[in-house]
Amino acid sequence: MDTVLEATDLTKHYEDFSLRGASLTVRKGSVSGIFGPNAAGKSTLLRMLAGQTPVPDGTLRVLGQSYADADRDLKNRIGYVPQEPVFYENRTVEWHARFAAPCFARWDGAAFHRLLEDFRVNPLKKVKHLSGGQKKLLSLALAFSHGAELLILDEPTAGLDIVHRRSLLDRLRALANAGDTTVVVASHITDGLDEIAEDITFLHDGRVVLRESADDLATNWKWVIYKDGSIDRAVEERFASVRRQPFGSRGLTGDFPAVREALAPALASGDARLDHASLEDILLSFIKGA
Amino acid sequence: MFVVLSPTHPDPMYKQVTDQIKDAIASGDLKPNDRLPSVRELSEALNVSAITIKRAYQDLETDGFILTRAGMGSFVAPVERDALRERKLAEVQEELRRLVRSSTKFGISAGDIARLARQIEGD
C-alpha cells in the first residue's frame, strides 16, 4: 500500500502548549480521522501536515517530499481547509475563485461552480454575508477544485447542517474510494466523521494516545455489561473504564480478544453481555483516565 | 436484579427495563413479594428520566408482573410459572426461527439443531 504521508515524532513547543512526538502514517486512498478534545494539538498537527507551519522537530514526508526542499508544485497537490477559513470579507465568492485560479496549476473553475451549486452558496454574495457554515463550504469548494491528491481538513463538519454534513461525508468517502484522493480530517467531536474514517488517531494533551484502524477498534473495544461478582476480578481490573451501578456494571475493554475466554462463562449464563462501544465512548475513556 | 440500558439497542429504554425485569422474575432473581427499587432510585441509577421508569412499571403492572401499592412501592407479583414459560417459549421460537433460516443456507437442518441442543443440555 502506498504511503501518502509519513510523520515521525513531530514536536513543537509553544509558550503554553506542546505537541509531543506525534507520529502518523496515511495510506493512499484512505480517510484518516484525527480526534481529540479542545486544545489537544489537532490544528497544530494539521497545519504542520499541510505545510502551513514549519516542523521544528521530527520528520515529515508528504507525497514523497519534505516541505523544506519541496518543489513548488507540492502545495498545489494539497487541499487544506483551516478550522477558521479567512477570506476577504468585502469581496464576493466569485471574486475568490478568480483570485484562487492563477495560484493553482490545475484549477477547475467549472468544478468549483458545480460545488457551489451543490452547497447552495450564492457566488455573487459577499463573504461578509455568508454564515459560518457557508464560509466552511466555500473553503471546502476551493480545496476540492484544484485537483488535490491530499485533502487536509480541520473540523470540516463544524457549522454544517445535517444535510450538508451528510453530503460532505458521502463526498469524502467517494473521493477516497475512487483511489486517487487521500483525506485527513480532524475533529473534536466524532460527528459522523467516525463513520468514514478507516484509521483513527487520538490526540490528547499534545500526544498521540491511540492509533488504530476502525476495524481493529471494533474488534478490540466492547462494553461488557455484567452482574457484579460474575466476572473475573483480573478482567475487571483491566477495564479501561468502569461504570458501577447498583443494578449491574458496565466495563469498557480495549482488548476483547484477550478477555473473551475469561468472560465466556458469564456470557453463556446471561450474567454478562456485550454492547457496542462507540468511538466517543473509547475516546472519553482516554480523557477521563488521564 | 440486573438492569443495564444500552443506547445502541434497537428497543426503547422503557422496553429494555421491562424485558430485563421480566427476565429477573423468570430466572428467580426476583421473587414474588420482593420490593422493586423506587421509580426515583432506578431512574437515578440508570441515568434515565423518571417517566421512562414509570412507563416501564405501568407496563409491568398491566402485564401482571408487579403490583404497586400506593405509598409503599412496587412489588413482584405472585406470577404463575406457566405465564413466564409461555413468554419464554415465544422468545425461543423467534430466535429459533432466525437460527433455522440462517442454518438451512449452510445445509444444517432443524434436526441437526435439535441434536446440538440436546448435546448442550447434556454438557
8 Å CB contact of B4 and A278: no
A159: contact with B, CB 8 A cutoff: no
pTM of the model as a whole = 0.85
- Average the pLDDT over A45-54 and give the result: 93
Interface test with B, best of A225, A245, A247 (most B CBs within 10 A): A247
pLDDT, residue A290, reads: 46
pLDDT band at A25 (very low <50, low <70, confident <90, very high): very high
* CB atoms inside a 10 Å sphere around CB A281: 20
Q: State the smallest CA–CA distance between residue A18 and chain B in angstroms.
A: 36
- Average the pLDDT over A149-176 and give the result: 94
Residue at B60: amino acid letter = L
8 Å CB contact of B8 and A271: no
Measure CB to CB from residue A245 to each of B8, B27, B45 and give the nearest one: B45
Residues in chain B, overall count: 123
Extended beta strands in chain B, E state: 66-69, 73-76
pLDDT tens-digit readout, A202-254:
999 999 999 999 999 999 999 999 988 889 888 898 899 898 887 888 999 99
Q: Does A87 score more than 80 pLDDT?
A: yes
Strand-pair category, A78-81 with A57-62: unpaired
pLDDT band at A1 (very low <50, low <70, confident <90, very high): low
Number of H helices, E strands in chain A: 10, 13
Q: Does B81 score more than 80 pLDDT?
A: no
Cell for A270?
446471561
